[in-house]
Structure 1
């Protein structure tokens, strides 16, 4: 106890005395998860939440839904599950959207699949007359029919930022600090399969260390790049390159690589990424 008190007193003294920037950095909590930044605001998600939000966005875009629909879906998942794929809930509710097998949404196994659960959410949203003219919370309520409709409102602003990054082709708007899921599938072939399942399209190239995705335009390229960065949690991805920029797991976010700091190979990859999203995995 005395040792703890002494350490506490020392830390307090350093703060009061005006400690150096290095000391402040040592005392500052480590950054975790993923950070979203757009012209309309910024927000933070855990790595797991970001991975689920990326799936929700990909399924919506795959099925012809727009950025606003993605924002409605993310608003809903925030309130229903905290953007976590939980296997419990009120009565028989479960999954990202707390959908109920007994109400015809699907089987338990299907609803625990974020891709299927997202598909079912958008399916009902699409059938909701006038949802485009509703607020995000109103549209969420129209799908979910919750006993507490007002609770969706608190997530609208954050969901709008996240949807702008994942669905709006919003440049390098996401950066994630390195972190692994409990079970990591560090295999480019498995990531390629996930891409096909989420987006309904094939990658253009996959080998032992790299996945290459060819987008139709810049907006699509940044959407796929954002999806890949969010997948770094699941797949232990080392870097993603697109549009002359490179993201690597850590606190630096997206940067323009230079030969001195990143090597000539990284510069070549970034320059080539104007035409393709290039995802690299750490060597085993």
Structure 2
């Protein structure tokens, strides 16, 4: 058996040695979802998880919570639902935070709304004495009162990275790769509506191909740019630009576009993005 395994490994090595780089790339596992980086650390979420994390962050910032509070909320949701808005759970638990209608969190319909569920989580966190002096896991447990308090700790490191990108103003800290996500039609109006609902503010400008958001400062701009990237595949976003940098779907990194490589339009968008988040959409 060991000899057979060794032979298989040798054949695989020989095949790869004779393959072109393109062929080797094709044999590697494909990258999907969203990649977060901050301070040399990284985290990975599916596109669905990233969109939900972005909602949690937006609601927190909207309601005056800070990056640490967002990290507590993301730690909690990663344990409770794996950042998926599920309509089931233990007893009557529902949604991102597995909140229970029978315990006064809200109605079933309300708790299946990630914006409402996030609001209710932060509301209780704010009422928790001393939560800022607790670890993320301890603060999560103080809100949730889980039967398994030790399970939150495993998500702390990833939550810190994700919160830094979505709520801490980390420059260019998110990139998303589509994978097998369903095709959707470009819908700037729907993105503008989602922004207003989650952030509690209107976009500065929207038309058939562009949404513009005017941030109050650089950190505010990067938080909103990260939110747009995390929701890119829900709305067929073609690019997100801020601070002279541009992200396009399928890329991990943000780039400063050059005319020869990216075209004059991309360069102009980047130039215009020094003071505004500019979101463009794929042609219908």
TM-score range, shorter chain: over 0.9
- Determine helix, strand or coil for the equivalent of 2:32: coil
1:220 aligns with 220
Q: Which residue of 2 aligns with 1:101?
A: 101
Tell me by how many angstroms 1:21 deviates.
2.9
Q: Does the Cα contact within 8 Å between 1:67 and 1:168 map onto a contact in 2?
A: yes
In the other structure, the counterpart of 2:167 is: 167
1:1-284 equivalent positions in 2, closer than 5 A = 11-15=12-16, 17=17, 19-179=19-179, 182=182, 184=184, 186-284=186-284
- Between 185-194 and 255-264, the greater mean CA deviation after superposition: 185-194
Q: Which moved more, 1:95-104 or 1:19-28?
A: 19-28
Task: Decide whether the 8 Å contact of 2:31 with 2:179 is kept in 1.
Answer: no
| Partner SS, residue 255 of structure 1 | coil
**Length-normalised TM-score, structure 1:** 0.93
| CA RMSD of superposed structures (Å) | 1.7
1:11-65 Cα offsets, whole Å, 9 max, x none, are 45313x4644333212111110000011151011100000000000000000000
Kept in 1, the 8 Å contact 2:174–2:252? The answer is no
CA offset digits 1:164-190 (Å, max 9, x no partner): 000000000000013575584631011
Task: Tell me which residue corresponds to 1:3.
Answer: none
Q: Matched residues in 1 for 2:270 and 2:252: separation?
A: 16
Aligned residues: 277
Q: Residue 3 of structure 2 aligns with which residue?
A: none
Distance 1:182 1:20, change over 3 A: closer
Query: Which runs of 5 or more structure 2 residues have no equivalent in the other structure?
Result: 1-7
CA displacement, residues 96-154 of structure 1 (integer Å, 9 cap, x when unaligned)? 00000111101111100000000000000000000000000000000000000000000
